[in-house]
Amino acid sequence: MRTDHQAEPAVGAPGRAATAVAHPNIALIKYWGKRDERLMIPYVDSLSMTLDVLPTTTTVRLDPTARTDSVTLDGSPAEGEVRRRVTDFLELLRERSGCFEPAVVDTRNSVPTGAGLASSASGFAALAMAGAAAYGLDLDRTGLSRLARRGSASASRSLFDGFAICHAGRGAGATADIGSYAEPVPAPDFDPALVVALVDEGAKAVSSRAAMRRTVETSPLYRAWAASSRADLAEMRTALLRGDLDAVGEIAERNALGMHATMLAARPAVRYLSPATVAVLDSVLRLRSDGVPAYATMDAGPNVKVLCHRADAARVAEAVRGAAPGCSVVTARRGPGARLQTGAGW
Ligand code: ADP
Ligand code: DP6
Ligand code: CO
Protein backbone atom coordinates (compact mmCIF):
# COMPACT_ATOMS: atom_id res chain seq x y z
CA MET A 1 0.00 0.00 0.00
CA ARG A 2 1.33 3.45 -0.84
CA THR A 3 1.63 5.98 1.92
CA ASP A 4 2.37 9.07 -0.18
CA HIS A 5 -1.26 9.37 -1.24
CA GLN A 6 -1.38 13.12 -0.78
CA ALA A 7 1.12 13.58 -3.57
CA GLU A 8 -1.17 11.74 -5.96
CA PRO A 9 -3.89 13.15 -8.16
CA ALA A 10 -7.35 12.54 -6.72
CA VAL A 11 -8.71 10.73 -9.76
CA GLY A 12 -7.10 8.71 -12.47
CA ALA A 13 -4.05 7.37 -10.68
CA PRO A 14 -3.77 3.64 -11.42
CA GLY A 15 -4.46 1.55 -8.36
CA ARG A 16 -6.20 4.29 -6.37
CA ALA A 17 -9.15 5.50 -8.43
CA ALA A 18 -10.94 4.16 -11.45
CA THR A 19 -14.08 4.71 -13.49
CA ALA A 20 -15.91 1.90 -15.27
CA VAL A 21 -18.90 1.73 -17.56
CA ALA A 22 -21.18 -1.33 -17.78
CA HIS A 23 -24.41 -2.02 -19.62
CA PRO A 24 -27.41 -3.97 -18.38
CA ASN A 25 -27.99 -7.46 -19.73
CA ILE A 26 -31.32 -9.17 -20.25
CA ALA A 27 -31.53 -12.90 -19.64
CA LEU A 28 -33.06 -15.05 -22.37
CA ILE A 29 -32.70 -18.01 -20.00
CA LYS A 30 -33.32 -16.65 -16.52
CA TYR A 31 -31.45 -16.97 -13.26
CA TRP A 32 -33.91 -17.22 -10.37
CA GLY A 33 -32.95 -18.67 -6.98
CA LYS A 34 -29.67 -19.03 -5.08
CA ARG A 35 -28.32 -22.20 -3.57
CA ASP A 36 -25.81 -20.17 -1.53
CA GLU A 37 -26.91 -16.68 -0.55
CA ARG A 38 -23.59 -15.65 0.99
CA LEU A 39 -21.51 -16.62 -2.03
CA MET A 40 -24.35 -15.72 -4.43
CA ILE A 41 -24.38 -19.07 -6.21
CA PRO A 42 -27.38 -19.57 -8.52
CA TYR A 43 -29.37 -22.80 -8.74
CA VAL A 44 -29.53 -22.66 -12.53
CA ASP A 45 -27.33 -21.59 -15.42
CA SER A 46 -28.54 -18.47 -17.24
CA LEU A 47 -27.90 -16.90 -20.64
CA SER A 48 -28.23 -13.23 -21.55
CA MET A 49 -27.75 -10.48 -24.09
CA THR A 50 -25.78 -7.43 -22.99
CA LEU A 51 -27.41 -4.23 -24.27
CA ASP A 52 -25.89 -1.19 -25.97
CA VAL A 53 -28.16 1.24 -24.09
CA LEU A 54 -28.81 2.48 -20.53
CA PRO A 55 -25.29 2.13 -19.07
CA THR A 56 -24.08 2.63 -15.50
CA THR A 57 -20.94 4.68 -14.84
CA THR A 58 -19.17 4.14 -11.53
CA THR A 59 -16.10 5.80 -10.03
CA VAL A 60 -14.32 4.29 -7.03
CA ARG A 61 -11.69 6.41 -5.30
CA LEU A 62 -9.76 5.30 -2.22
CA ASP A 63 -9.75 7.89 0.56
CA PRO A 64 -7.36 7.10 3.42
CA THR A 65 -8.48 10.23 5.28
CA ALA A 66 -12.12 9.04 5.49
CA ARG A 67 -13.49 7.01 8.41
CA THR A 68 -16.20 5.25 6.42
CA ASP A 69 -17.17 4.58 2.84
CA SER A 70 -19.17 7.23 1.02
CA VAL A 71 -21.67 6.08 -1.63
CA THR A 72 -23.75 8.25 -3.94
CA LEU A 73 -26.25 6.90 -6.47
CA ASP A 74 -27.39 9.34 -9.14
CA GLY A 75 -25.95 12.23 -7.12
CA SER A 76 -27.71 11.48 -3.80
CA PRO A 77 -26.25 9.69 -0.77
CA ALA A 78 -27.19 6.00 -0.87
CA GLU A 79 -28.95 4.72 2.21
CA GLY A 80 -30.25 1.48 3.71
CA GLU A 81 -30.03 -1.66 1.62
CA VAL A 82 -28.57 0.12 -1.43
CA ARG A 83 -25.66 1.44 0.61
CA ARG A 84 -25.22 -1.84 2.49
CA ARG A 85 -24.89 -3.87 -0.70
CA VAL A 86 -22.17 -1.51 -1.96
CA THR A 87 -20.26 -1.36 1.35
CA ASP A 88 -20.43 -5.18 1.69
CA PHE A 89 -18.92 -5.39 -1.78
CA LEU A 90 -16.17 -2.89 -0.84
CA GLU A 91 -15.46 -5.05 2.22
CA LEU A 92 -14.90 -8.01 -0.09
CA LEU A 93 -12.51 -5.92 -2.20
CA ARG A 94 -10.60 -4.94 0.94
CA GLU A 95 -10.32 -8.54 2.17
CA ARG A 96 -9.07 -9.67 -1.23
CA SER A 97 -6.60 -6.82 -1.74
CA GLY A 98 -5.31 -6.43 1.81
CA CYS A 99 -5.84 -2.67 1.37
CA PHE A 100 -8.25 -1.50 4.06
CA GLU A 101 -8.81 2.12 3.05
CA PRO A 102 -12.38 3.42 2.78
CA ALA A 103 -13.67 4.36 -0.64
CA VAL A 104 -15.72 7.11 -2.22
CA VAL A 105 -18.14 5.55 -4.72
CA ASP A 106 -20.06 7.66 -7.19
CA THR A 107 -22.41 5.66 -9.41
CA ARG A 108 -24.86 6.85 -12.02
CA ASN A 109 -27.50 4.70 -13.65
CA SER A 110 -29.14 5.66 -16.91
CA VAL A 111 -31.31 2.57 -16.49
CA PRO A 112 -34.14 3.01 -13.94
CA THR A 113 -33.05 1.52 -10.60
CA GLY A 114 -34.86 -1.55 -9.27
CA ALA A 115 -37.46 -1.65 -12.06
CA GLY A 116 -36.69 -5.04 -13.57
CA LEU A 117 -34.32 -3.54 -16.14
CA ALA A 118 -31.14 -5.03 -14.67
CA SER A 119 -29.72 -2.03 -12.80
CA SER A 120 -28.09 -4.46 -10.35
CA ALA A 121 -26.32 -6.10 -13.31
CA SER A 122 -24.86 -2.92 -14.82
CA GLY A 123 -24.36 -1.47 -11.32
CA PHE A 124 -22.30 -4.31 -9.85
CA ALA A 125 -20.40 -5.03 -13.09
CA ALA A 126 -19.25 -1.40 -13.12
CA LEU A 127 -18.49 -1.48 -9.38
CA ALA A 128 -16.51 -4.72 -9.70
CA MET A 129 -14.41 -3.37 -12.54
CA ALA A 130 -13.77 0.09 -11.04
CA GLY A 131 -13.36 -1.31 -7.51
CA ALA A 132 -10.89 -4.02 -8.55
CA ALA A 133 -8.78 -1.43 -10.37
CA ALA A 134 -8.91 1.08 -7.49
CA TYR A 135 -7.94 -1.55 -4.88
CA GLY A 136 -5.25 -2.94 -7.18
CA LEU A 137 -6.72 -6.43 -7.68
CA ASP A 138 -5.21 -8.07 -10.73
CA LEU A 139 -8.09 -10.09 -12.17
CA ASP A 140 -8.79 -11.34 -15.66
CA ARG A 141 -12.31 -11.04 -17.06
CA THR A 142 -13.36 -14.40 -15.61
CA GLY A 143 -12.15 -13.27 -12.20
CA LEU A 144 -14.02 -9.97 -12.58
CA SER A 145 -17.15 -11.88 -13.57
CA ARG A 146 -16.91 -14.07 -10.43
CA LEU A 147 -16.34 -10.96 -8.36
CA ALA A 148 -19.31 -9.09 -9.88
CA ARG A 149 -21.49 -12.14 -9.09
CA ARG A 150 -20.91 -11.48 -5.39
CA GLY A 151 -22.67 -8.11 -5.80
CA SER A 152 -25.54 -9.37 -7.98
CA ALA A 153 -25.47 -12.71 -9.77
CA SER A 154 -26.81 -11.20 -13.01
CA ALA A 155 -23.85 -8.74 -12.97
CA SER A 156 -21.46 -11.61 -13.77
CA ARG A 157 -22.84 -11.54 -17.34
CA SER A 158 -22.41 -7.78 -17.97
CA LEU A 159 -18.63 -8.24 -18.12
CA PHE A 160 -19.10 -9.67 -21.63
CA ASP A 161 -20.38 -8.29 -24.86
CA GLY A 162 -23.17 -9.91 -26.82
CA PHE A 163 -24.41 -13.19 -25.42
CA ALA A 164 -23.08 -14.70 -22.18
CA ILE A 165 -23.79 -17.76 -20.07
CA CYS A 166 -23.46 -17.71 -16.28
CA HIS A 167 -22.52 -21.11 -14.93
CA ALA A 168 -24.22 -22.02 -11.69
CA GLY A 169 -21.18 -24.15 -10.79
CA ARG A 170 -21.14 -27.33 -8.73
CA GLY A 171 -20.36 -28.32 -5.17
CA ALA A 172 -20.18 -26.01 -2.20
CA GLY A 173 -17.93 -23.32 -0.73
CA ALA A 174 -14.77 -22.50 -2.66
CA THR A 175 -15.57 -25.10 -5.34
CA ALA A 176 -18.92 -23.46 -6.03
CA ASP A 177 -17.36 -20.00 -6.02
CA ILE A 178 -14.70 -20.95 -8.55
CA GLY A 179 -17.20 -22.70 -10.81
CA SER A 180 -19.76 -19.88 -10.96
CA TYR A 181 -18.84 -17.21 -13.50
CA ALA A 182 -19.99 -16.01 -16.90
CA GLU A 183 -18.36 -16.42 -20.30
CA PRO A 184 -19.27 -15.46 -23.86
CA VAL A 185 -21.58 -17.68 -25.90
CA PRO A 186 -21.03 -17.89 -29.65
CA ALA A 187 -23.79 -16.36 -31.75
CA PRO A 188 -21.85 -15.39 -34.87
CA ASP A 189 -24.74 -14.40 -37.11
CA PHE A 190 -27.22 -13.18 -34.56
CA ASP A 191 -27.69 -9.42 -34.17
CA PRO A 192 -31.35 -8.85 -33.29
CA ALA A 193 -33.12 -5.85 -31.77
CA LEU A 194 -34.47 -5.86 -28.24
CA VAL A 195 -37.29 -3.32 -27.97
CA VAL A 196 -37.55 -2.28 -24.33
CA ALA A 197 -41.02 -1.09 -23.30
CA LEU A 198 -40.73 1.04 -20.16
CA VAL A 199 -44.26 0.75 -18.84
CA ASP A 200 -43.30 1.67 -15.26
CA GLU A 201 -39.91 3.05 -14.23
CA GLY A 202 -40.66 2.99 -10.51
CA ALA A 203 -38.71 0.73 -8.13
CA LYS A 204 -40.25 -2.68 -7.43
CA ALA A 205 -41.91 -3.30 -4.07
CA VAL A 206 -40.02 -6.59 -3.55
CA SER A 207 -36.36 -6.82 -4.60
CA SER A 208 -35.23 -9.62 -6.91
CA ARG A 209 -33.26 -11.04 -4.02
CA ALA A 210 -36.21 -11.26 -1.62
CA ALA A 211 -38.58 -12.49 -4.33
CA MET A 212 -36.35 -15.35 -5.46
CA ARG A 213 -35.72 -16.40 -1.85
CA ARG A 214 -39.48 -16.61 -1.24
CA THR A 215 -39.96 -18.51 -4.50
CA VAL A 216 -37.32 -21.12 -3.68
CA GLU A 217 -38.66 -21.56 -0.15
CA THR A 218 -42.39 -21.72 -0.89
CA SER A 219 -43.25 -22.24 -4.58
CA PRO A 220 -44.22 -25.81 -5.51
CA LEU A 221 -43.43 -24.91 -9.14
CA TYR A 222 -39.83 -23.84 -8.58
CA ARG A 223 -38.12 -27.20 -9.04
CA ALA A 224 -40.10 -28.02 -12.16
CA TRP A 225 -39.15 -24.69 -13.74
CA ALA A 226 -35.46 -25.15 -12.79
CA ALA A 227 -35.46 -28.56 -14.49
CA SER A 228 -37.15 -27.22 -17.64
CA SER A 229 -34.74 -24.29 -17.66
CA ARG A 230 -31.79 -26.67 -18.01
CA ALA A 231 -33.40 -28.13 -21.12
CA ASP A 232 -34.24 -24.64 -22.42
CA LEU A 233 -30.60 -23.63 -22.10
CA ALA A 234 -29.33 -26.50 -24.23
CA GLU A 235 -31.88 -25.67 -26.96
CA MET A 236 -31.07 -21.97 -26.69
CA ARG A 237 -27.38 -22.55 -27.36
CA THR A 238 -28.04 -24.33 -30.63
CA ALA A 239 -30.68 -21.77 -31.65
CA LEU A 240 -28.14 -18.97 -31.07
CA LEU A 241 -25.52 -20.80 -33.13
CA ARG A 242 -28.02 -21.10 -35.99
CA GLY A 243 -29.00 -17.44 -35.60
CA ASP A 244 -32.62 -18.64 -35.49
CA LEU A 245 -34.67 -15.72 -34.09
CA ASP A 246 -37.92 -17.68 -33.92
CA ALA A 247 -36.38 -20.47 -31.89
CA VAL A 248 -34.44 -18.07 -29.62
CA GLY A 249 -37.59 -16.03 -29.08
CA GLU A 250 -39.88 -18.98 -28.38
CA ILE A 251 -37.48 -20.49 -25.86
CA ALA A 252 -36.86 -17.12 -24.15
CA GLU A 253 -40.57 -16.31 -23.91
CA ARG A 254 -41.55 -19.65 -22.39
CA ASN A 255 -38.60 -19.57 -19.99
CA ALA A 256 -39.60 -16.11 -18.72
CA LEU A 257 -43.29 -16.94 -18.40
CA GLY A 258 -42.35 -20.11 -16.52
CA MET A 259 -40.21 -18.08 -14.11
CA HIS A 260 -43.14 -15.73 -13.47
CA ALA A 261 -45.37 -18.76 -12.89
CA THR A 262 -43.03 -19.92 -10.11
CA MET A 263 -43.41 -16.52 -8.44
CA LEU A 264 -47.18 -16.49 -8.79
CA ALA A 265 -47.26 -19.84 -7.00
CA ALA A 266 -45.07 -18.58 -4.13
CA ARG A 267 -46.71 -18.02 -0.75
CA PRO A 268 -47.54 -15.20 -0.63
CA ALA A 269 -47.45 -14.68 -4.39
CA VAL A 270 -44.97 -12.31 -6.02
CA ARG A 271 -46.56 -10.62 -9.01
CA TYR A 272 -44.46 -8.19 -11.01
CA LEU A 273 -46.60 -8.20 -14.14
CA SER A 274 -49.07 -5.30 -14.38
CA PRO A 275 -52.07 -4.65 -16.67
CA ALA A 276 -49.72 -2.65 -18.96
CA THR A 277 -47.36 -5.66 -19.10
CA VAL A 278 -50.22 -7.89 -20.21
CA ALA A 279 -51.34 -5.32 -22.81
CA VAL A 280 -47.82 -5.34 -24.29
CA LEU A 281 -47.79 -9.17 -24.25
CA ASP A 282 -51.06 -9.11 -26.19
CA SER A 283 -49.54 -6.73 -28.75
CA VAL A 284 -46.63 -9.15 -29.20
CA LEU A 285 -49.10 -11.99 -29.91
CA ARG A 286 -50.90 -9.76 -32.45
CA LEU A 287 -47.60 -8.94 -34.14
CA ARG A 288 -46.89 -12.65 -34.49
CA SER A 289 -50.31 -13.38 -35.91
CA ASP A 290 -49.66 -10.55 -38.41
CA GLY A 291 -46.47 -12.34 -39.47
CA VAL A 292 -43.92 -10.21 -37.53
CA PRO A 293 -41.59 -12.43 -35.47
CA ALA A 294 -41.56 -10.84 -32.01
CA TYR A 295 -41.09 -12.50 -28.61
CA ALA A 296 -41.33 -11.10 -25.09
CA THR A 297 -39.34 -11.51 -21.92
CA MET A 298 -39.84 -9.91 -18.50
CA ASP A 299 -37.63 -9.79 -15.43
CA ALA A 300 -38.45 -8.92 -11.84
CA GLY A 301 -40.61 -5.95 -12.80
CA PRO A 302 -43.45 -4.95 -15.13
CA ASN A 303 -41.31 -3.79 -18.06
CA VAL A 304 -41.26 -5.87 -21.24
CA LYS A 305 -38.39 -6.52 -23.65
CA VAL A 306 -39.36 -7.65 -27.14
CA LEU A 307 -36.89 -9.59 -29.27
CA CYS A 308 -37.28 -9.08 -33.02
CA HIS A 309 -35.39 -8.61 -36.27
CA ARG A 310 -33.74 -5.19 -36.49
CA ALA A 311 -35.70 -4.47 -39.65
CA ASP A 312 -38.95 -4.90 -37.68
CA ALA A 313 -37.90 -2.84 -34.64
CA ALA A 314 -39.77 0.34 -35.62
CA ARG A 315 -42.99 -1.58 -36.24
CA VAL A 316 -42.63 -3.46 -32.96
CA ALA A 317 -41.95 -0.21 -31.07
CA GLU A 318 -45.08 1.34 -32.60
CA ALA A 319 -47.22 -1.67 -31.63
CA VAL A 320 -45.90 -1.60 -28.08
CA ARG A 321 -46.55 2.16 -27.73
CA GLY A 322 -50.09 1.64 -28.98
CA ALA A 323 -50.67 -1.10 -26.41
CA ALA A 324 -49.39 0.86 -23.42
CA PRO A 325 -50.02 4.55 -24.07
CA GLY A 326 -47.51 6.80 -22.34
CA CYS A 327 -44.82 4.15 -22.13
CA SER A 328 -41.40 5.05 -23.47
CA VAL A 329 -39.58 2.68 -25.76
CA VAL A 330 -35.84 2.19 -26.21
CA THR A 331 -34.49 -0.09 -28.93
CA ALA A 332 -31.33 -1.95 -28.00
CA ARG A 333 -28.87 -4.14 -29.84
CA ARG A 334 -26.16 -6.40 -28.50
CA GLY A 335 -23.74 -4.19 -26.64
CA PRO A 336 -20.25 -4.14 -25.12
CA GLY A 337 -18.91 -5.75 -21.96
CA ALA A 338 -17.92 -3.63 -18.97
CA ARG A 339 -14.82 -1.55 -19.50
CA LEU A 340 -12.57 0.86 -17.66
CA GLN A 341 -12.96 4.36 -18.95
CA THR A 342 -9.81 5.58 -20.57
CA GLY A 343 -8.67 9.04 -19.67
CA ALA A 344 -5.81 10.85 -18.02
CA GLY A 345 -3.59 8.31 -16.34
CA TRP A 346 -5.19 5.25 -17.97
P1 ADP B 1 -33.05 -4.54 -11.01
O2 ADP B 1 -34.21 -5.14 -11.70
O3 ADP B 1 -32.94 -3.07 -11.28
O4 ADP B 1 -31.76 -5.27 -11.23
P5 ADP B 1 -32.79 -5.58 -8.29
O6 ADP B 1 -33.84 -5.76 -7.24
O7 ADP B 1 -32.12 -6.78 -8.81
O8 ADP B 1 -33.44 -4.69 -9.46
O9 ADP B 1 -31.63 -4.67 -7.76
C10 ADP B 1 -31.82 -3.33 -7.46
C11 ADP B 1 -30.74 -2.97 -6.46
O12 ADP B 1 -29.46 -3.06 -7.09
C13 ADP B 1 -30.81 -1.54 -5.95
O14 ADP B 1 -31.79 -1.41 -4.94
C15 ADP B 1 -29.41 -1.38 -5.46
O16 ADP B 1 -29.24 -2.06 -4.21
C17 ADP B 1 -28.59 -2.14 -6.49
N18 ADP B 1 -28.09 -1.22 -7.52
C19 ADP B 1 -28.73 -0.74 -8.60
N20 ADP B 1 -27.94 0.10 -9.32
C21 ADP B 1 -26.77 0.16 -8.66
C22 ADP B 1 -25.54 0.84 -8.88
N23 ADP B 1 -25.37 1.63 -9.94
N24 ADP B 1 -24.54 0.66 -8.00
C25 ADP B 1 -24.70 -0.16 -6.94
N26 ADP B 1 -25.82 -0.83 -6.66
C27 ADP B 1 -26.85 -0.68 -7.51
C1 DP6 C 1 -35.27 -12.02 -13.16
O2 DP6 C 1 -29.17 -10.73 -10.27
O3 DP6 C 1 -30.92 -9.00 -9.84
O4 DP6 C 1 -33.48 -10.56 -13.78
O5 DP6 C 1 -28.35 -11.78 -7.49
O6 DP6 C 1 -29.98 -11.02 -5.76
O7 DP6 C 1 -28.78 -9.33 -7.16
P8 DP6 C 1 -29.33 -10.74 -7.09
O9 DP6 C 1 -30.53 -10.78 -8.14
P10 DP6 C 1 -30.49 -10.39 -9.69
O11 DP6 C 1 -31.62 -11.36 -10.27
C12 DP6 C 1 -31.91 -11.32 -11.62
C13 DP6 C 1 -33.19 -12.01 -11.87
C14 DP6 C 1 -33.75 -11.85 -13.26
C15 DP6 C 1 -33.24 -12.92 -14.22
C16 DP6 C 1 -31.83 -12.75 -14.74
O17 DP6 C 1 -31.34 -11.62 -14.90
O18 DP6 C 1 -31.23 -13.80 -15.03
CO1 CO D 1 -31.25 -7.18 -10.59
| pLDDT tens profile 38-86 | 999 999 999 999 999 999 999 999 999 999 999 999 999 999 999 999 9
Which ligand has the nearest atom to the CA of 40?
2
Residue 209 lies in a domain: yes
Q: Could you tell me the pLDDT band of residue 330, with boundaries at 50, 70 and 90?
A: very high
Please tell me the total count of domains within the chain: 2
Q: Could you tell me the pLDDT band of residue 236, with boundaries at 50, 70 and 90?
A: very high
Measured in Å, residue 294 CA sits from the centre of ligand 2 at: 23
**Within this chain, do residues 155 and 28 fall inside the same structural domain, yes or no?**
yes
Q: Could you tell me the pLDDT band of residue 14, with boundaries at 50, 70 and 90?
A: low
**Within this chain, do residues 180 and 207 fall inside the same structural domain, yes or no?**
no
Predicted ipTM > 0.85: yes
Residue 346 lies in a domain: no
Which ligand has the nearest atom to the CA of 152?
2
- Average pLDDT rounded to a whole number, residues 250-277: 98
- State which of 164, 185, 206 marks the end of a domain: 185
pLDDT higher than threshold 70 for residue 186: yes
Percent of the chain residues past pLDDT 70, beyond the cut: 95
CB of 58 sitting under 6 A from ligand 2: no
Which ligand has the nearest atom to the CA of 303?
1
CB of 30 sitting under 6 A from ligand 2: yes
**Within this chain, do residues 156 and 223 fall inside the same structural domain, yes or no?**
no
Domain CATH number, residue 55: 3.30.230.10
Residue of the CA atom closest to atom 14 of ligand 2: 299
pLDDT higher than threshold 80 for residue 89: yes
CB of 118 sitting under 6 A from ligand 1: yes
Q: Could you tell me the pLDDT band of residue 343, with boundaries at 50, 70 and 90?
A: low
Radius of gyration of the chain, Cα coordinates, nearest whole angstrom: 20
Percent of the chain residues past pLDDT 90, beyond the cut: 94
Which ligand has the nearest atom to the CA of 154?
2
- State which of 133, 167, 185 marks the end of a domain: 185
CB of 72 sitting under 6 A from ligand 1: no
> What is the 3 state secondary structure string of 224-279?
HHHHHHHHHHHHHHHHHHHCCHHHHHHHHHHHHHHHHHHHHCCCCCCCCCCHHHHH
pLDDT at res. 141: 98
**Within this chain, do residues 230 and 172 fall inside the same structural domain, yes or no?**
no
Residue 246 lies in a domain: yes
For residues 112 and 109, what is the distance between their CA atoms, to the nearest angstrom?
A: 7
Domain residues for the domain of 43 are 17-185
Residue of the CA atom closest to atom 10 of ligand 1: 114
**Within this chain, do residues 209 and 157 fall inside the same structural domain, yes or no?**
no
pLDDT higher than threshold 50 for residue 13: no
pLDDT higher than threshold 60 for residue 130: yes
Residue of the CA atom closest to atom 18 of ligand 1: 120
Omega prior to 42 cis, within 30 of 0: no
Measured in Å, residue 214 CA sits from the centre of ligand 1 at: 19
Domain CATH number, residue 304: 3.30.70.890
CB of 27 sitting under 6 A from ligand 2: yes
**Within this chain, do residues 124 and 229 fall inside the same structural domain, yes or no?**
no
For residues 204 and 227, what is the distance between their CA atoms, to the nearest angstrom?
A: 27
- State which of 152, 185, 218 marks the end of a domain: 185
DSSP-assigned letters across all residues of 37-85: TTTTEESS-EEEEEBSSS-EEEEEEE-TT-SS-EEEETTEE--HHHHHH
CB of 125 sitting under 6 A from ligand 2: no
Mutate to test the pocket of ligand 2, among 299, 303, 304, 305 (most ligand atoms within 8 A of CB): 299
Shortest-distance atom of ligand 1 to CA 116: 2
pLDDT higher than threshold 70 for residue 277: yes
Residue 121 lies in a domain: yes
